[in-house]
Amino acid sequence: MPYETTLHHTFDNGLVLLGDKMPWLRSAAFAFMLPAGCRFESPDRLGLAGFVNEMIQRGAGNHSSRDLVAIQDNLGLDRSSSISTAHGSFGGSMPAESLPDALTLYADMVMRPHLPGDQIEDARLMCLQELQAAEDDLPQTMMNRLKQMHYGDVLGRNSLGDEAGLMAIDAADIRSFYQRRYQPCGAMLSVAGNFDWDVVRSHVETLFADWKPGDPISEEPVVGTAGYEHIEHPSQQTHLGIAFPAVRYGDPDYYPMRAAIGVLSDGMSSRLFTRVREERGLCYTISAGCHSMREGGGVFCYAGTTAERAQETLDVTLQELQGIADGIEESELERLKVRIQSSLIMEQESSASRASAIVSDWYLLGRVQSRDELQKKIDALTTADLVDYWKRNPPKDLRIVTVGPEPLKVP
Amino acid sequence: MTLEFKQHTLANGLQIIAEINPAGYTAAFGFFVRTGARDERPEELGLSHFLEHMVFKGTSRRTAADVNRELDELGGQANAYTSEEQTVYYTTVLPKYQDRAIDLLCDIMRPALRDDDFQTERQVILEEIAKYDDQPPFGAFERSMETYFAGHPLGGRVLGTPESIGQMTSTAMRGYFDRRYDPKNMLLSVAGCVDFDEVVRQVESLAGDWPTVESAAMTPATTTDEQTKIDLKVPDSSQTYVIRVGAAPSIANDDRFAMRMLVSMMGEEGGSRLFWDLIDTGRADVATMWTQEFQDAGLLFTYLSCAPEDVDANLKLVDGAIEVFVKNGPTDDEIEQAKNRMCAGLILSSERPSNRMFSIGNAWQLRGVYETLDHQLQRYRSVSDSDLRRVLAEFPMHYRTEVRTVSKSPAT
């Protein structure tokens, strides 16, 4: 199947525009990533990135915050916003004809936000609410701590911040973070779906021509530490997380590593699902996945299991992690290849997933990998490649976190 | 995009419907079984959902491992869910796997229900219950339904309880299966790039001999008229959660479209009256409303999550906002905004055959009609200002049941 090359244009101020045409759809989607993630917060202002992202949505250009929502609704925009370690992001999918107006609106938000002083207290309360509500989400509590152990204090930050940081933030902090971080150098905007590239490119050029670049972004080292931590909680289940270092997206070894994780966790016949849940009935949810930042990567596993069966779940899971080095059956890899091929084809039904995939590629690889190229890399994998990677990079320096009534014995 | 609708019924009553899109990239298949918590006897609490798990545990032709392996070999997304009135099994695959997907789906609809698998799966269900028990609002939702329906099985816990699951037997499950997985009670919904004639031929050969039984009539839903308030202890939670349940139109009532729009204007998460009053101002973490429609009853949920000390003040704001809304009705701008938001949502979701498969399957099983996307859009577009006022007068967003969690930090 022929795949169209992703369209790309870098404007003079550094803003990167990416496009992937899907003319068979009635929709279009965009993903806008700005270099305004929580890694740029100072340690006494944790939560500032999310705070600013919230303030940006409280009025911009000629629009009040209520106007912004009304316009978005009337454009049929299904929207989102989020904070990651490196980025503050906005996304939206919509009927294709709404795309130019939606981009105009987001240009106002990103370049001409009101940051209204009289709404700072409301926004602060909103951020505090989210932080407090997250305390009741035990898997998330576990994963936040695990990410912090894995990537270190800066790259492993929880984007919700902490209470002290949120309480300390003032109008000057908000304005200064906005001015430094909402800038075109390091910003990426992707568009996917049914649109005309020349029209979108010249529209974006007009919208963002006056946007001035700031300082480029420096890299931050990964400073994770191995170890075990238990967070006591009188819960029914013990929420168990295991992480260990792995190559990042873009590394030549990435696909053998990713496929080995697939053998462990992709699908109902994968090893963790089969051996922990199906054969032993130890838990309802178990998974392993890989995560990449530009600075490094890791494998993260999760299992939720009643306290009395948590130790066995941990033991069996660790055994399965090591077991990849003992060999993989051809059929395990074959199933994985079919699944990946199907998901690549299914991606063509969604402009939103394509818009976020290409922008993420650009950030991590500096280019967009075509589906064709990806398909070829996957097709070329052999079971020996997977086993070889695992032998060279066995799971070690484990970071383990549990949340539950009792700590576990870890090796 | 030219879509074609086709329909066929087997001699034993099993129905097949399809919305065919020759240009689609995928094909979606789903068996809709009209059975769920409301069809369980008191000693069967949680049985529909337990059976849903057991359906993936093998047949006379396949072991449990075979089923999981083959589902993965088809490369698609396969799953199932159980609700109060339905159990649905579905998969989306590339068109080249159509015959294998149909073979597998039809086969698992006649599960072996082996005793060993039953015992292991019981543990998984108990784990699933424990998982939801760790999510504080969940128990409060179950309790609100139980109370609202006053002992009627429509308010029964879909997952069951540790006690009911602990005591369940495979014999009881076989009895329930024979009673409920009757082809007259089942529908195969298909959407996307499919060869319909081939689907029919294959299903005739695989499912034509499924036996039928006399099935009992549905027990009409009952509810209590009196208002009930319950405090539910969740000592280790940080937030307080409030769930209120009131009446809304049922799935059989065409006023449900107007009601959904009213509820969206009042309680949509991104920009409704409750959003501006409670979320935008940082008073609550969640303040939202939605409807749930059953065959002969409809529910309006109001859900609030906030710090324990703010609950009473926030509920006053909710009550006040509802009172103003019911008295004055929605504004023209709100109506236009809600229509645009909801219609765009329908258009976006309909791009995937899997979503169309659910949409046409539900409409056909519950109301016996085929609904195109344009028809659905028309349903919302044609709701008038007077319809909204009439429906709001009939369903004035009152609640009969309130469940409130009591958390570790008492109000000061």
Report the residue of chain A nearest B79, measured CA to CA.
A268
Q: Mention every residue, 6+ apart, whose C-beta is less than 8 A from residue B6.
A: B17, B18, B20, B196
Q: Which band of pLDDT confidence, cut at 50, 70 and 90, is reported for residue B134?
A: confident
Q: Does domain A227-404 have CATH number 3.50.50.60?
A: no
State the pLDDT confidence band at A92, using cuts at 50, 70 and 90: very high
Question: CA torsion angle for A188, A192, A194, A195 (degrees, to 10)?
Answer: 20
- In one-letter notation, the amino acid at residue B331 is T
Chain B CB contacts of A95 under 8 Å are 344, 347-348
Kindly state the average pLDDT of the residues B364-382.
Answer: 95
Above 50 in pLDDT, residue B154?
Answer: yes
Q: Do B134 and A123 touch (CB under 8 A)?
A: no
Q: What is the mean pLDDT of residues B162-191?
A: 97
Query: Chain B interface, mutation test: which of A136, A264, A270, A272, most B Cβ atoms within 10 Å?
Result: A136
d(CA A383, CA B348): 39
- Give the Cα separation of B243 and B137 in Å (integer): 8
Q: CA-to-CA distance for A400 and A299, rounded, in angstroms? A: 12
DSSP assignment letter at A4? P
Residues A193/A29, Cβ–Cβ less than 8 Å: yes
Closest Cα to residue A368, out of A108, A3, A120, A46? A3
| Minimal C-alpha gap between B81 and chain A (Å) | 14
**DSSP-derived secondary structure letter, B296:** S
Query: How many helices (H) does chain B have, and how many strands (E)?
Result: 15, 11
Measured between CA atoms, the residue of chain B closest to residue A81 is: B270
Distance CA A264, CA B329 (A): 55
Going across the sheet that includes B298-306, the strands are B228-233, B401-406, B240-248, B298-306, B286-293
Three-class SS state of B84: coil
> pLDDT at position B235, please?
79
Contact A247, A161 (CB under 8 A): no
Q: What is the distance between the alpha carbons of residues A70 and A142, in angstroms, rounded to a whole number?
A: 38
Per the listing, tokens 């939720």 go with: A304
The pLDDT of A365-393, averaged and rounded, is: 94
* Interacting residues of A313 by C-beta distance below 8 A, sequence separation 6+: A240, A276, A282, A283, A286, A303, A305
Q: In whole angstroms, give the CA distance from residue A228 to residue A411.
A: 10
The span from the CA of A264 to the CA of B270, in Å, is: 38
Q: Which two tokens stand for residue A278?
A: 């199906």
Structure tokens at B306: 């906030």
Helix (H) or strand (E) holding A253: none
> Right CATH number for A7-208 from 3.20.20.70, 3.30.830.10, 3.40.50.1980, 3.40.50.720?
3.30.830.10
Report the largest interatomic distance among the alpha carbons of chain B, rounded to a whole angstrom. 69
Q: Of A71, A102, A95, nearest to B350 (Cα)?
A: A95
| Mean pLDDT score, B147-162 | 93
Give contacts of B307 with chain A, Cβ < 8 Å: 129, 132
* % of chain A surpassing 90 pLDDT: 93
Q: Report pLDDT for B412.
A: 40
Both tokens of B321, joined, read 């906002």
Phi, psi of B76 (to 5 degrees): -95, -170
Percent of chain B with pLDDT over 90: 89
Q: Is the pLDDT of residue B148 over 60?
A: yes
pLDDT for the residue A146: 98
Is residue B226 scored above 90 in pLDDT? no
Task: Report the alpha-carbon distance of residue B101 to residue B92 in Å, rounded.
Answer: 9
d(CA B109, CA B356): 22
Question: To probe the interface with B, which of A135, A269, A270 has the most B CB atoms within 10 Å?
Answer: A269
To the nearest whole percent, how much of chain A has pLDDT over 70? 99
pLDDT grade for B249, boundaries at 50, 70 and 90: very high
Query: DSSP string spanning B32-50?
Result: EES-SGGG--GGGTTHHHH
From residue B130, give the alpha-carbon distance in Å to each of A151, A308, B124: 31, 12, 10
CA distance A153 to A156: 5
Mean pLDDT of chain B: 95
How far, CA to CA in Å, does B190 sit from each of A232, B95, B250, B370?
48, 12, 25, 12
pLDDT tier at A1, thresholds 50, 70, 90? very low
Nearest to A178 by CA among A61, A36, A64: A36
Matching CATH topology for A7-208 and A227-404? Answer: yes
pLDDT at residue A218 in the model: 84
Q: Can you give the pLDDT at residue B408?
A: 61
Phi, psi for B30 (deg, rounded to 5): -145, 130
Mind listing the pLDDT tens digit for each residue in B348-365? Answer: 999 999 999 999 999 999
Per-domain residue ranges of chain A: 7-208, 227-404
Average pLDDT over residues B39-67: 96
Average pLDDT over residues B298-317: 97
pLDDT at A5 (0 to 100): 75
Instruction: State the distance between the two ends of chain A, measured CA to CA, in whole angstroms.
Output: 49
Alpha carbon of A150: minimum distance to chain B alpha carbons (Å): 25
CB atoms within 10 A of CB A391: 11
A 276-315: CB under 8 A from B: 277-285, 304-306, 309
Whether the predicted pLDDT of A404 surpasses 80: yes
Nearest to B266 by CA among B217, B179, B335: B335
Chain A, 184 to 243: residues with Cβ < 8 Å from chain B are 233-237, 239
Asked whether the beta carbons of residue A75 and residue B340 sit closer than 8 angstroms, the reply is: yes
- Whether A360 and chain B come into contact, CB under 8 Å, resolves to no
CA atoms within 13 A on the CB side of A405: 12
pLDDT at residue A216, as a whole number: 85
Question: Tokens standing for A15?
Answer: 């803003």
Strands B186-192 and B15-20: parallel
Q: Could you tell me the pLDDT band of residue B411, with boundaries at 50, 70 and 90?
A: very low
Residue from B127, B337, B341, B406 to probe the interface with A (highest A Cβ count within 10 Å)? B127
Q: How far apart are CA B224 and CA B145, in angstroms?
A: 11
Which ipTM value was assigned to this complex? Answer: 0.92
Q: Which two tokens stand for residue A396?
A: 């070690």
Nearest neighbour of B26 by CB, restricted to A135, A284, A346? A346
A176 in reach of chain B (CB within 8 A): no
Task: Give the containing element (helix H, strand E) for A18.
Answer: strand A16-21
Using CA atoms, how far apart are residues A107 and A219, in angstroms rounded to an integer? 27
Instruction: Please indicate whether, in this complex, the C-beta atoms of A237 and B69 are within 8 angstroms of each other.
Output: no
CA distances from B305 to B288, B316, B396 (A): 9, 14, 22
Paired tokens of A185: 């150098």
- Rounded to whole angstroms, the Cα distance separating A78 from A351 reads 12
Read off the pLDDT of residues A211-244 as tens digits, 9 standing for 90 and up.
999 988 888 899 999 999 999 999 999 999 999 9
CA-based nearest distance B278→chain A, Å: 9
CB atoms within 10 A of CB A66: 13
- Of the candidates A130, A121, A132, the residue with the CA atom closest to the CA atom of residue A170: A121
Compute how many other C-beta atoms are within 10 angstroms of the C-beta atom of residue B208: 12
d(CA B104, CA B66): 10
pLDDT tens, residue by residue, A143-190: 999 999 999 999 999 999 999 999 999 999 999 999 999 999 999 999
DSSP state of A303: E
Is B279:A126 a contact under the CB 8 Å cutoff?
yes
Q: In what order do the strands lie in the sheet with B186-192?
A: B4-9, B15-20, B186-192, B27-33, B87-93, B77-82
What's this model's pTM, rounded to 2 decimal places?
0.94
Chain B residues whose CB is inside 8 A of the A66 CB are 271, 276
Size of interface A-B (CB pairs under 8 A): 189
**B266 Cβ contact partners less than 8 Å away, ≥ 6 residues apart:** B272, B273, B274, B289, B321, B322, B325, B397
Q: How far is A176 from chain B (nearest CA, A)?
A: 23
Backbone angles phi, psi at B157, to 5 degrees: -75, 120
Interface contact B127-A66, CB threshold 8 A = no
Residue A257, classed as helix, strand or coil, is helix
Looking at the complex, does the CB of residue A125 fall below 8 Å from at least one CB of chain B? yes
Q: Which residues contact B363 (CB under 8 A, 6 or more apart)?
A: B369, B370, B371
> What tokens appear for A373 in the block?
């190229």
- Of A73, A124, A281, Cβ closest to residue B340: A73
* Token pair listed for B243: 């769930």
- The residue-averaged pLDDT of B134-154 equals 91
**Alpha helices, DSSP H only, in A266-380?**
271-272, 310-323, 330-346, 351-365, 371-380
Chain A residues within 8 A of B74 when measuring between CB atoms: 338, 342
B72, B133, B343: residue with CB nearest A268: B72
Q: What is the pLDDT of residue A237?
A: 94
| Res. B1: pLDDT tops 80 | no
pLDDT by residue (tens digit) across B75-126? 988 899 999 999 999 999 999 999 999 999 999 999 999 999 999 999 999 9
Tell me the backbone φ, ψ of residue A231, rounded to 5 degrees. -110, 115
Query: Are the C-beta atoms of A245 and A398 separated by less than 8 Å?
Result: no
